[in-house]
Amino acid sequence: MTRTILVTGGAGFIGSTLVRELLEAGDQRVVTLDALSYAGHRASLEEPLSHPRHLFVEGDVADAETVEAVFDHYLPDAVLHLAAESHVDRSIDGPAAFLRTNVQGTFELLEAARRHWAGREEVRFVHVSTDEVFGSLAPDGAPFGRATPYDPRSPYSASKAASDHLARAWFHTYGLPVVVTNCSNNYGPRQYPEKLIPTIVLRAARGESLPVYGAGDQVRDWLHVRDHARGLIAALNRGEPGRSYLFGGRNERTNLQLVTRICDLLDELRPDGASHAQRIEHVTDRPGHDLRYAVDPSAAEQELAWRAETAFEDGLRETVRWYLDNAEWVATVLADRYDLGRQGLSAAAARGERA
């Protein structure tokens, strides 16, 4: 029988990439559940929406009746749970939405799966999380691994940490076959333009300043979204319930190094007579900004037969070119919702700091 996979948040950045990979990987039926909030768009699912094995449901994972109806009607054999509020700056300005989607939404899905999958062993619930739940690494600290204790520092990472704990509790208490994954920073096509790489590319294309928080010495490990999607499929198919798998690209860069490299690519792909790097502007840092994230993906590589395949320079060039060449997608997802401006200023204002 054909397996039915429910992907929550499937109209978002990582989710839409995952839906494409699932449809290409086999004959399973894929059901996307997405609330189509500011970061989820039908435009990101242009090809899958017409695929005969793909079904789309507009709905909120935090709404118990919606989740129950999806389980009743489509009878999923697996869940890949990606629906989440995910931008740290937005969580600083409005944490309530993060608690609702990330915590309440995860609870509703776990409960629906527990009710519908009672007595079944072949089912899987893959809960997708972030490396930010582990806190901040020292410059010379060992990368995050399975044994790293949780130490979230932002409303976003705290809400994801809570959802991770729920997922593991439902495995240990109820025997729900849950696999938890944590990934480093993703990059690639169709990322909502509030995140660093698309923000820099699109602001540069407009001739605007290129903001870098503080000195720009925060370090992130970068993983191409397609590599992450393939890792999630490996976790679904080969992951052991109760275990966690960390996905990283082994591509650590400071924010300033990354922005400077994007400027180099823009000078080549979209020259305007002067180096784009001249428009880099150092702005007041984000409140509570973590210094460094880095992931050790060895366990995933060894146990899931997965490895990040995209060379960072190739992936970054492809990504910059994609945003330059897809103005229609950018215009559709931005509309009147976001102007590429600074977010996350409410905490600084409350402290009396200058933004």
Structural domains for the chain: 4-191+225-250+294-310 (3.40.50.720)
Q: Is 55 helix (H, G, I), strand (E, B) or coil?
A: strand
Which candidate in 85, 111, 131, 194 is catalytic? 131
Tell me if 19 sits within 8 A of 51, measured CB to CB: no
Phi, psi of 34 (to 5 degrees): -150, 140
Say what the pTM is: 0.94
131 annotated active-site: yes
According to DSSP H, which parts of the chain are helical?
13-25, 64-74, 88-93, 96-98, 105-116, 155-174, 196-205, 225-238, 255-269, 298-304, 312-325, 327-334, 346-350
* Number of alpha carbons in the 13 Å side-chain half-sphere of residue 283: 18
Q: With CA atoms as reference, report the closest residue to 132 among 96, 185, 191, 197.
A: 185
Q: What is the pLDDT along the chain (355 residues), one digit of tens a residue?
A: 589 999 999 999 999 999 999 999 889 999 999 999 988 999 999 999 999 999 999 999 999 999 999 999 999 999 999 999 988 888 998 999 999 999 999 999 999 999 999 999 999 999 999 999 999 999 999 999 999 999 999 999 999 999 999 999 999 999 999 999 999 999 999 999 989 999 999 999 999 999 999 999 999 999 999 999 999 999 999 999 999 999 999 999 999 999 999 999 999 999 988 999 999 999 988 788 889 999 999 999 999 999 999 999 999 999 999 999 999 999 999 987 777 777 766 555 444 444 4
Q: How do strand 185-187 and strand 219-224 relate by DSSP bridges?
A: parallel
Q: With CA atoms as reference, report the closest residue to 320 among 187, 122, 230.
A: 187
Which candidate in 77, 156, 192, 227 is catalytic? 156
Which bin fits 161, alpha (ψ -120 to 50), beta or left (φ > 0)? alpha
